[in-house]
Amino acid sequence: MDGDRVEIDGGIMEGGGQILRVSTALSCLLGLPLRVRRIRAGRSQPGLRPQHLSGLEIVRDLCDGKLNGGEIGSTEITFTPGKIKGGTHIADTKTAGSVCLLMQVAMPCVLFAASPSELHLKGGTNAEMAPQIDYTVMVFKPIIEKFNFTFNCDIKRRGYYPQGGGEVVVQMSPVKELSPINLTERGTVTKIYGRAFVAGALPIKLAKDMSAAAVRCIRREIRDLYINIQPVREPDDQAVGTGSGIIIVAETSTGCLLAGSSLGKRGKNADKVGIEAAEMLLQNLKHGGTVDDSLQDQLIIFMALAKGVSRVKSGPITLHTQTAIHFAEQLTKAKFTVRKSEEEHPGNDTYIIECQGMGMINPNL
């Protein structure tokens, strides 16, 4: 540490933008000055991309912090946080950079702000290498609200690769503290639903084909459940550019939500898009966990901040999750343990992620 600056190696483990998101959010919350080196060192284009830079800038703005090294391609930044304030903040990737990833870095911070916040996040809503906004609304939101807070997410416009241009508005009020969560009972699947979408120049037939292919694929494994995947065409005034994709959610008797999703792209057969999403969903259902592989790592920072012990049963621990745990433990007093869950089917690859949270208290309330 130089003068108590926490040193983060951005090139280890998963080695991507997630290290930046977890560490800057925690730096902001805990008032810890930060230096991150070797940012995205192993990636084909190392250093900050527009997506990551926008995330750093919104956290800086949320807490009147100081950011050095904040330019595209930079592999080292220093960040000195100030006091987290509420109010209206805008982050614009000016590309198809994911608004969902902007939300990931900003949300923990605004939970502990002095007053309510409104975040205008601009970029891609349904982009590769990130959760789709439909996933954020249909799966992330209801589960994350179990930490005892609520937020509102209004999709103003959808934006796709390559130009982006989407916008979502997130509104939330601060909390005194977060409650721990206990997601250890999977239950049985009670419904399967979703949406297959096209926007711009693409015909609705593509959405119908994605939906039908996904239903056929799921039917082979799950025969006795009504599967409702709506084909939709996004209204032209609510979407920028051309895009397509699908998200399918399974809901269980204990309120678990697990999903599979996929995006269309030029030259990719619509059936293939539907089948990819269906197979991802079936894979997530097979391991017997209460959360899917996309949600796993997104829960870690909230578990670390909560007051008390959180437990989550999951499938195999992803590298993203291991990485989030590593940096959450480095920066907070939270303690994580991961153990194999043996109870029901010895063959199942399930784990219990347990966390003694640090019990973050909002100093402003």
Give the ranges where 168-249 is alpha helix by DSSP (H).
Answer: 204-219
Phi, psi of 243 (to 5 degrees): -165, 165
Name the β-bridge partners of 243. 199
Phi, psi of 8 (to 5 degrees): -120, 130
Q: How far apart are CA 113 and CA 337, in angstroms?
A: 29
Name the β-bridge partners of 314. 351
User: Which H or E element spans position 114?
Assistant: none
> CA-CA distances (angstroms) from residue 218 to 56, 74, 211, 249?
40, 44, 11, 12
Q: How far apart are CA 109 and CA 92, in angstroms?
A: 18
Distance of CA 167 to the CA centre of its chain: 16
Cβ atoms < 10 Å from Cβ of 308: 15
Q: What angle do CA 200, 203, 209 make, to 5 degrees?
A: 125
Name the β-bridge partners of 90. 120
Please indicate if the annotation marks 104 as binding a ligand. yes
> CA-CA distances (angstroms) from residue 339 to 14, 152, 228, 342, 353?
21, 35, 36, 9, 7
Q: Which of 120, 287, 320, 345 is catalytic?
A: 320
Contacts with 203 (C-beta within 8 Å, 6 or more apart), sequence order:
none
Residue 287 falls in the annotated catalytic set: no
Contact 67, 39 (CB under 8 A): no
Identify the CA nearest to 125 among candidates 237, 213, 259, 238. Answer: 238
The single-letter code of the amino acid at 94 is K
User: Which H or E element spans position 27?
Assistant: helix 17-30
Q: What angle do CA 193, 144, 52 make, to 5 degrees?
A: 100
CA dihedral 324, 13, 284, 355 (to 10 degrees): -30
Which residue ranges make up the annotated binding site? 104
Which positions are catalytic?
320
Q: List, as residue ranges, the binding site for ATP.
A: 104
